[in-house]
Structure 1
Amino acid sequence: MIDHLGICVADFDASKAFYDKVMAPLGASFLMMVPAEHTGGVKVGGYGRERPTFWLHEGAETGPGRHIAFSARSRAEVDAFYAAAMAAGGRDNGAPGLRPHYHPDYYGAFVFDPDGNNIEAVCHLPE
C-alpha cells in the first residue's frame, strides 16, 4: 500500500553513513541524490533495492515518534540489520526475536537511529 516514505534528519551526512550500513544487510543501498537545484539546496536522497522507496530529507522536524519497519527476506537479514545498526551507533530498542503477540511468525529487531526514529527490520516467514 505504501509506495515510498521519507524522514527528516538533522545531519544528512551522518544519517546517510548510518543508513548505508543498516540497509546493506537488507539488500538495499543508496540509489540517488536529488539535485540541489530541485530541492532549494536541501539534501535529499533515497534508498531501495530496485528503486528509491525510503528517503532522507535534511530538516528540522526529526526524531521520536516515528516508526519505520523495513522488510527482511529472512531472519538472518533481521539479525544482520540489528548488528549493523548497533555497530553504526544505533541504540537498542528490542533485540532480534519472535514477537508472537503480533503474529506467530513475526521476527523483528528494533533500533533507534541517530535522530531517535524507531527503525525495525521484520521477517514474516517461518524459520
Structure 2
Amino acid sequence: MFTHIMVGCSDPAKTKVFYDALFGALGGTPGFDTGKGAFYQHNGGAFGFTLPANGQPATHANGGTIGFGATSTEMVDAWHAAGLANGGTCEGAPGPRSMPGRNLYGAYLRDLDGNKICAFVDLDKA
C-alpha cells in the first residue's frame, strides 16, 4: 500500500543514533546515512528521516502515529527502553492493549522531534 514512511528531523546525527537503537531492538540494521538523514529497510517496509527539503523546522503530525512490528513482548520492551535511553519520551509504557478480537502488546514513544511512534506484537500470532 505504501512505498515508505518519511518524517522530518532537526538533528540527523542524533536522530540516527535514536532510530538505529530502535531498529536494532527489532532485529534491524543501522540506517543508510543520506547526509541529511537516514533510511531503514526491514521486514518489507522502509522508513526514513530527513531534514525538511524546504528548510523549515521539522514538525510532527497531530494525531499521527507510525507503528512498527515486533515478534515478542521482550522485543517491544527492548524497543521502548532503547528509545528512552536515546532521548525519546514515553507516550505509553509497554503492556497489553485492548482491541476487540485482538490480543496485542505494545508501547508508544515520541522521537527527538515529537513524532509519535509505537511497536506492537499480536500475541495470537507470536
2:112 counterpart SS class: coil
Post-superposition CA distance 1:69-119 (Å, at most 9, x none): 001111211111011111112111001111113653111100111101111
Percent pairwise identity: 33
The question of whether the paired residues in 1 share the 8 Å contact of 2:24 and 2:30 is answered with no
- Residue 123 of structure 1: CA displacement? 0.7
Post-superposition CA distance 1:47-80 (Å, at most 9, x none): 1226770011112332242311001111211111
- Output the aligned Cα RMSD: 2.1
Alignment of structure 1 residues 47-62 onto 2, 5 Å: 47-49=40-42, 53-59=46-52, 60-62=57-59
1:10 counterpart SS class: coil
Deviates more, 1:4-13 or 1:57-66: 57-66
Alignment of structure 1 residues 26-45 onto 2, 5 Å: 26-34=26-34, 43-45=36-38
Post-superposition CA distance 1:2-49 (Å, at most 9, x none): 331111111111111111111111011234234x6xxxxxx1320122
The equivalent of 2:22 in structure 1 is: 22
The equivalent of 1:13 in structure 2 is: 13
The aligned length equals 120
1:115 counterpart SS class: coil
Letter in 2 for 1:49: H
Structure 1 alignment gaps of length 5 or more: 37-42
User: What CA distance in whole angstroms lies between the structure 2 residues aligned with 1:6 and 1:102?
Assistant: 30
Greater per-residue strand proportion: 2
Letter in 2 for 1:95: A
User: What CA distance in whole angstroms lies between the structure 1 residues aligned with 2:100 and 2:6?
Assistant: 25
The question of whether the paired residues in 1 share the 8 Å contact of 2:58 and 2:113 is answered with no
Structure 2 alignment gaps of length 5 or more: none
The question of whether the paired residues in 1 share the 8 Å contact of 2:37 and 2:51 is answered with yes
User: What CA distance in whole angstroms lies between the structure 1 residues aligned with 2:109 and 2:122?
Assistant: 18
2:82 counterpart SS class: helix
